Amino acid sequence: MGSSIVQKILQEHVVEGKFETGEEVGLRIDQTLTQDATGTMAFLQFEAIGIDRVRTKRSVSYIDHNMLQTSFENPDDHRYLQSTASRYGVYFSRPGNGICHQVHLERFAVPGGTLIGSDSHTPTAGGMGMIAIGAGGLDVAVAMGGGAYFLKIPKVMKVNLTGRLQPWVTAKDIILEMLRRLTVKGGVGWIVEYGGPGVETLSVPERATITNMGAELGATTSIFPSDEQTRSFLEAQDRGNDWRELKPDPDAQYDEHIEIDLSQLEPMIAQPSMPDNVVSVREIEGLEVHQVCVGSCTNSPYMDLARVAAILKGKIIHPQVSMTLSPGSKQVFEMISRTGELSDLIAAGVRILESGCGPCIGMGQAPPTGAVTLRTFNRNFAGRTGTSPDKSYLCSPETAAAAALNGVVIDPRKLGDYPIVEPPKKFIINDNMVVTPPVDGRDIEVLRGPNIKPVPTKDPMPDQLEGELLLKVGDDITTDHIMPAGAKVLPLRSNIPAISEHVFVRVDETFPTRAKAAGGGFIVGGLNYGQGSSREHAALAPMYLGIKAVIVKSFARIHFANLVNFGIIPFEFADPADYDKLNQGDRLSIAGVLEGLDKGGVFLKNESTGASIRIVTNLSPRQIKIMKAGGMLAYTKGAAGS
């Protein structure tokens, strides 16, 4: 029996465990990436582990999220990150060099390698043929120290692409079609591998758009073959020596198959407030639009922005529309500047933002009250724009540009001939905004601002847990619900006591106060709890508030791992119907916790009603040890000292 691309790469990198679906293995990690919203805590954790130098082939620290410097916190974090990068042997991408996923695709990603990043959209590099996985910052810190990254081997879903995209239909429409079919839960427990004759019609940046938003499916990661398209992209980046061919064996076996005929797709759009609320653009034509934002790690490479410029050239955006554009990298920015496309965009009335995440994470450009905003981003969770309630739609750059011109949603195919934009044979190569670390950084001083606080730790797990059910929530709770992003909260990422004041405030503004007054307690949720960002603060800050366990119908992958890393037990209902037997404010207790972890389950007693409820864990033997130690940091330091 032949192997898929996924199986080939994973098997090359397994250093611990048995390679079978559902079994936990440890993987050797070739590369890591961090960004400034998660990176400060990751490097604080790396320092706490006590290793003198990173041990990966390449680790890169990016500044792209917290770019808005309204006070000292963000620039202090940037200074800390630059000094830790030099001290510990990490490449440092300076503010203005671009969004981590775009820059990594351009300059660092290599076919056949493994990459983990403290950002959920790390799978972008799957467009290059990498196994690239989003993870919590503590997992990344361990990998930087040479430790294995552990995951349970997912099932592999083959998506067979045939045909060719028609004019005005894009890679964004492919992944929106996937979300329409599978939903935000449909990829949980899966790696998605794309193949078929349609693959060769898609460029690496187009493939990266698809793998980027595979995170919205809940997939562990997504991957494309490494072929002549990959070789061409790498040669255009002056990195031809990094190319290697990667394709599945002819008799490769998969756990699931999906067929997509690219020629049958049409422009799609995700309606508020979930990426899987997808319809065709023509179904909502005429909807009045007030804001259009082009950019993000999903749709900000050169070809996307060049097509927007071609659509807008010689025209002016509608008077009721405010339009912004964020180049994905300094390379992209310089390319559109030299080719004249930047002038066309400015002449059309587009507001040009810096090369960073910006409005995608609520860092500026909040829409007006009640306004519709069209965004070429990857998430439209409620309130993510910075305005609440909001009406955020996700679409391709072409659909966004059409709406910007007309002031309403319009099928872009009605604009006439599709603009022909030739891909560059060579990109502008200038890595002067990447700081190479010194060979020996032991004499480098690590600079810490007053907002940077020590990493909170947790005591070893007790044998009995008791407390109040502090919050009961429903299905599809995102990390944005648990720990909001945006200009108000993101600067506090290196200060857990301060950021903990914002836990769940979008759901219940009294939660932090009640949690502290009660001395901690429990949270109950529904399906797909913790979907969205990799932000470990959605586990770390609740841990600081005393949350002892989260009991739900099912978890999203990264958040489950983050809860384990910070010593909060992730329980699931043995019978999902028991969710209805618990109410906010009930007093709960769990006895025999330590033995229950070993056996895979315990009984939860509702002291307020007398109900006894079976709850289970899906922890590996390694994760059980982590839980008992009080979290990954204590476990890692203990293992290093033993």
Q: Which domains does the chain have, with CATH numbers?
A: 5-264 (3.30.499.10), 268-415 (3.30.499.10), 465-641 (3.20.19.10)
* Cα–Cα separations (whole angstroms), residue 314 to 317, 320, 347, 547: 10, 18, 8, 57
The one catalytic residue in 58, 65, 87, 493 is: 65
Reduce the DSSP state of residue 49 to 3 states and report it. Answer: helix
- Judge whether residue 540 has pLDDT over 50: yes
Sign of CA dihedral 68, 501, 118, 88: positive
Q: Is 503 exposed, middle or buried (0-12, 13-18, 19+ CB in 10 A)?
A: buried
Q: Does 64 participate in catalysis according to the annotation? A: yes
The one catalytic residue in 30, 36, 77, 119 is: 119
Determine the average pLDDT of the residues in 505-533.
95
- Judge whether residue 142 has pLDDT over 80: yes
Q: Does 557 participate in catalysis according to the annotation? A: no
The one catalytic residue in 78, 101, 107, 379 is: 379
The pLDDT value recorded for residue 639 is 59
Hey, which of 72-81, 259-268, 361-370, 486-495 has the most confident mean pLDDT? 259-268
Determine the average pLDDT of the residues in 262-291.
98
pTM for the whole thing? Answer: 0.92
| Nearest Cα residue to 569 out of 485, 462, 444, 480 | 462
Sign of CA dihedral 437, 442, 443, 447: positive
| Nearest Cα residue to 545 out of 500, 481, 483 | 500
The one catalytic residue in 506, 535, 557, 559 is: 535
Do residues 296 and 102 make contact, with C-beta atoms less than 8 angstroms apart? no
Which band of pLDDT confidence, cut at 50, 70 and 90, is reported for residue 402? very high
Q: Does 238 participate in catalysis according to the annotation? A: no
Q: Does 379 participate in catalysis according to the annotation? A: yes
The residue among 534 and 263 whose pLDDT is bigger is 263
d(CA 42, CA 201): 38
Alpha-helical segments (H) within 50-99: 73-88
C-alpha of 539 from chain center: 15
Interior angle at CA 524, CA 520 and CA 526, nearest 5: 155
The one catalytic residue in 36, 64, 173, 242 is: 64
The one catalytic residue in 533, 557, 559, 578 is: 533
The separation between the first and the last C-alpha atoms of the chain, rounded to the nearest angstrom, is 42
Sign of CA dihedral 576, 578, 584, 590: negative
Per the prediction, the chain carries an average pLDDT of 95
The pLDDT value recorded for residue 487 is 79
Alpha-helical segments (H) within 237-286: none
Do residues 58 and 31 make contact, with C-beta atoms less than 8 angstroms apart? yes
Q: Does 164 participate in catalysis according to the annotation? A: no
Q: Does 119 participate in catalysis according to the annotation? A: yes
Which band of pLDDT confidence, cut at 50, 70 and 90, is reported for residue 642? very low
Tell me the pLDDT tens digit for each residue of 20-70: 988 999 999 999 999 998 999 999 999 988 999 999 999 999 999 988 888
Tell me the pLDDT tens digit for each residue of 243-276: 999 999 999 999 999 999 999 999 999 999 999 9
Interior angle at CA 621, CA 546 and CA 525, nearest 5: 40
